[in-house]
Amino acid sequence: MQKFTGKTLEECLQAASNELKLPIESINYTTREEKSGFLGLGTLVTVEVISLEDVCDFIQIYLEAYFKNIDMPCNVMMKIEGDEIKIMLDAENNAILIGKAGQTLQAINTVLKSAVASQYKRHYNLLVDVNGYKEERYEKVKILADRLARQVVRTKISVTLDPLPNDERKIIHQFLSDYPTIKTESVGEGNQRRLKIIYDEKKLG
């Protein structure tokens, strides 16, 4: 973590923005010290700015401890792409990490996101993958979404998919966002949340 000190919080954040070349609104920080001089004069504020590299360090330690506790040797590799942290896992038996229909991998994603959010008091864009499983899965759901969208355009009848995890629904939302007469929305709650593909003639206008 990098520390920045100034007379005000705004001054600290502006200094961090200038050095890190990030917009102020995207900076994640904690206020560590606020010192006041005599009669309130000479006040100094110190903040610690949390970078994606700091989050990666936390994830590395967290996952290494997790796999040690369940006695499963696993290599943990990370890559930062834009505002997303990709975590690649590789164990002797990757099928166990993926689980039936990817359920175990999805559970690992959920637990890790919760741990990071609890540690840093904000949500980060994380993706845990095993041997490219998620990337292959995303390509499959795109193919499915394209086929169903064409069906909806042809019949003008909406289609609701089976329950999907949040990241896969997001992929389909993004993939179909440019289709001229198609809109998507999520329906349902919890693990029964589904994605609905809807014919929308208004998008032509």
pLDDT above 80 for 1: no
Lowest mean pLDDT among 26-30, 54-58, 75-79, 186-190: 26-30
Quote the pLDDT of residue 108.
92
This prediction has a pTM of 0.74
Quote the pLDDT of residue 172.
94
pLDDT (mean) for 21-25: 78
Quote the pLDDT of residue 56.
94
| % the chain with pLDDT above 70 | 94
Shared fold status for 53-131 and 136-204: no
**Which string of DSSP letters, residue by residue, matches 27-79?**
-EEEEEEEE--GGGTT-EEEEEEEPHHHHHHHHHHHHHHHHHHTT--EEEEEE
Contacts of residues 80-86 at CB distance under 8 Å and 24 or more positions apart, as own/partner, are 80/52, 80/53, 80/56, 83/26, 83/52, 83/125, 84/125, 84/126, 84/127, 85/52, 85/55, 85/56, 85/59, 85/124, 85/125, 85/126, 85/127, 86/127, 86/129
Number of C-beta neighbours around residue 35 at 10 A = 10
Show the tokens assigned to 135: 């990337």
pLDDT above 90 for 7: no
Type of residue numbered 101: A
More confident residue, 15 or 116: 116
- CA dihedral sign, ordered 142, 147, 153, 158: negative
Nearest CA to 77 out of 64, 66, 94, 93 is that of 64
pLDDT above 80 for 68: yes
CB 175 within 8 A of CB 149: no
Quote the pLDDT of residue 33.
65
**What are the tens digits of pLDDT across the range 121-180?**
888 899 999 988 998 999 999 999 999 999 999 999 999 999 888 889 999 999 999 898
The CA distance from 67 to 61, in Å, is 10
Lowest mean pLDDT among 12-16, 96-100, 158-162: 12-16
Burial group, residue 204, by CB count within 10 angstroms (0-12, 13-18, 19+): exposed
Superfamily of segment(s) 136-204: R3H-like domain (3.30.1370.50)
The CA distance from 106 to 84, in Å, is 17
Specify the CATH number of the domain 53-131.
3.30.300.20
Domain ranges of the chain: 2-50, 53-131, 136-204
Cα 32 vs. chain centroid, distance in angstroms?
27
| % the chain with pLDDT above 90 | 50
pLDDT above 90 for 29: no
Quote the pLDDT of residue 158.
95
DSSP element (H, E) containing 198: strand 194-199
